[in-house]
Amino acid sequence: MENGRVIDKGQNAISHTEGQGMALLLAVQNNDPETFSQVWSWTQQNLQVRDDKLFAWSWSPQVGINDMNNASDGDLFIAWALSCAYTKWNEPSYLFNAIQISQSIRAKLLRKTNKGTVLLPGAAGFEKPDGLKLNLSYWVFPAIAELSRLDPAPEWEDLRLTGLKLIQEARFGKWQLPPDWLVLEGERIGPTDDDRFGYDAVRIPLYLIWGKQASLPFIKPFQHYWGSYAGKMPPAWINVMTGEMATYNASEGFQSIAAMALAYPDVEKTQLPSFNPSQGYYSSMLSLFTKMALEDLKK
């Protein structure tokens, strides 16, 4: 919208930090300071309303803030975008806000565990009696690299290394895929919820490759899985333990990430599906993020 609000029509026209942060990153990538300013202004005024510098993750036109809890990937996107915007346009307020958000992420969302430093998906609700509930797709490696440069602190390197370790260990079932959500209890990690490789975990290979953290051992399971559908459409999700699959196809955004993973390590040869804006918010953003990652890797 002209006021800078990004609408997720698939979720009752709400706005959330993930969408606002993705739009900020795309504005920087496309050298559009006006759109960046609009999106940041709306985000700051309507979502940065907590006691810390993190963001309430969800806003609806009916009630305003839906949930004061944050979403850590959205916070990472916003801090990353602000830091990049400062570098590109030399606006000091962007630098100031990026550092404040980065410091709040370190203070509020990082936890030391037997596996190393992990990122809580949100400040509240993920430290449970049976362990920490984690989402490996929240390890946005290019953002972590940017914040490590912006806000030098050893926790960022610890977080990076722990993410790589968990991604190596979180391999389950026939295809050795990571699930969308994990439980970490002591030294043990295991799937939770529906045990699915789907809407969240699909982003893991994107962030590994984009953040220059990938190697063939990391990417091989994704290549084996998606490669098994050569000439066919993969399902939207698969249960990593039972092999049960969605009865509907993965979206164009999923297929964009699959194409990039299948081309690895020669990602410059990636053939992306044609972009269709009518595919909906999430699939569109995955398509645009994959395109942005490929552009960054060519620099």
Angstrom distance (rounded) from CA 158 to CA 101? 19
Q: How many other C-beta atoms lie within 10 A of the C-beta of residue 295?
A: 11
3 state SS for 90-116: CCHHHHHHHHHHHHHHHHHHEEEECCE
Phi and psi, residue 29, nearest 5°: -60, -35
Residue tagged active-site, from 2, 18, 91, 146: 18
CA distance 231 to 233: 7
Query: Choosing from 2, 8, 32, 73, which is the catalytic residue?
Result: 73
- Is 296 considered catalytic here? no
Clarify whether 18 is annotated catalytic: yes
| Percent helix / strand / coil, the chain, rounded to 5 | 50, 15, 35
What count of residues does the chain have?
A: 299
What strands lie across the sheet with 127-128, from one edge to the other? 127-128, 131-134, 182-185, 188-191
Angle in degrees, 0-180, between the axes of helices 281-297 and 252-263, rounded to the nearest 10: 30
Q: Which residues are catalytic?
A: 18, 73
